[in-house]
Structure 1
């Protein structure tokens, strides 16, 4: 019987994107149905079970689940099915069209050398997506961080426009009231 693992044609060195609801977790496929990923250390968490951003609980040993902005993280080698759990996933080598891919042997060697290492983890500056794009393409990139920043900028603009309209109307009304009082005197 074929499960979701055989529906995806993953090759060693491919980036695996796992949909976790409000965010995506990233891992590097290394062959033999295994991945290497970088996950934040959750000091209060139970290994293999963690809460996602949306508050639901999923069986996974991934990292962003603890939603800490920064701290320490660990590079782990695990079975793809254990990292994916019940979530949807796909191969997504999105930088390949714009940035050269490192030789597969180099990608796998560098990834395997880091297994077990603890390093600084930050949702904004160095998360699981930064980790795998650095391995594959030589540049640490996180599209979801960039997207979140753009959304935040847009929201700030909308809020500032609403504030200007609200305070502008209040100021105009105050000026009109003062003008009316002057005419009535």
Structure 2
């Protein structure tokens, strides 16, 4: 069941992961019911497949919005995913920097500068995206599997092809 407005209570500086279907949108909670996030033009609650168009955007806007306007009816969770790896920056520094960026248009790249990179840099001082890393790992795995599959087919074709030639010459 999706969390409701009364379940998880974020604290200022918390990262919130919103499940949009094929990907996650990330925001940082700044208090009083507001979040700040990097949003390509197609990114909004309940955008569905249309939000996937963010992959073609090269600019995004830093927005401050009410959490429920961003979450909409999607599932979400508080996910300070790198707390075990990095020391979070002081909350006041996180909030001050996030607030100073509101309204700015920033470069956007799904692979090198997406909403997850944006919030992890605010919280930890390190721009990282686990969903990009996971997609790359899956892509590499699929690529390797495809290459192995092609190699097996090529070997089989060579073996069976040579046997067929032997039969034809006999």
Would the TM-score normalized by the shorter structure come out above 0.5? yes
C-alpha separation in 1, matches of 2:122 and 2:90? 10
Q: Distance in 2 between matches of 1:157 and 1:135?
A: 35
Is the 1:72–1:119 Cα contact (8 Å) retained in structure 2? yes
Greater mean deviation of Cα atoms: 136-145 or 168-177: 168-177
**Match of 1:6, SS?**
coil
Structure 1 residues 132, 48: closer, same or farther in 2, change over 3 A?
Answer: closer
Is 1:94 the equivalent of 2:81? yes
Residue 162 (1) aligns with residue 158 (2):
no
Unaligned runs of 5+ in 2: none
Q: How much has 1:48 moved relative to structure 2?
A: 5.2
The answer on whether the counterparts of 2:62 and 2:103 sit within 8 Å (CA) in structure 1 is: yes
Aligned residue number for residue 38 of structure 2: 38
Which whole-Å CA distance do the structure 1 matches of 2:98 and 2:46 have between them? 24
Q: 1:132-147 to 2 correspondence within 5 Å?
A: 132-147=119-134
Q: Which moved more, 1:165-174 or 1:138-147?
A: 165-174
Distance change >3 Å, CA 131–CA 50, structure 1 → 2 = same
Distance 2:47 2:73 in 1: 14
Counterpart for residue 68 of structure 1: 55
Number of equivalent positions: 168
Tell me the CA shift for residue 70 of structure 1: 4.1
Q: Give the corresponding residue for 2:92.
A: 105
CA RMSD of aligned residues (A): 1.9
The gaps in structure 1 that reach 5 residues or longer are 56-63
Deviation at 1:96, TM superposition (A): 0.7
In structure 1, the residue matched to 2:25 is 25
Q: Is the 8 A contact 1:100 1:137 kept in 2?
A: yes
> Any runs of at least 4 consecutive aligned residues in structure 1 with deviations exceeding 2 A, and if so which?
47-53, 64-70, 177-182
**What secondary structure sits across from 2:107 in the alignment?**
strand
